[in-house]
Structure 1
Amino acid sequence: MYEHFFQCPYCWEEVSVLLDPSVRKQTYIEDCETCCNPIEFQVEFESNELQMFEAQPIEQ
């Protein structure tokens, strides 16, 4: 697992998420551990290296 730190698009706190480099392309939704709002993640790995990471708010 790969721990990645980012800024929440809702509360602007720095939080971390665990990423699985064995899955090359990933899109999933997870709640912010600080404010509990849903965030859509798009992640891409190549040769176990993080190539792309996006954390976008979900319109409710």
Structure 2
Amino acid sequence: MSDNLQNRGGQDRSRINMHEKWEVQYWTKELGVTEEELANAVKEAGNSADAVRQHISGTRH
């Protein structure tokens, strides 16, 4: 089943999909990071939104 691009809210906000441009845009705005920072956080912490939030907050001390 493919993504419905008209539904920008996303069905699963617990995961970050770096392969969908609109999700990357959503998460960079939501977390206040650049696309590069988001990609690095997902690479380090995995695609769990909670893990990425923790990773980002831990690197901003």
The TM-score normalised by the length of structure 2 is 0.22
Higher strand share: 1
Higher helix share: 2
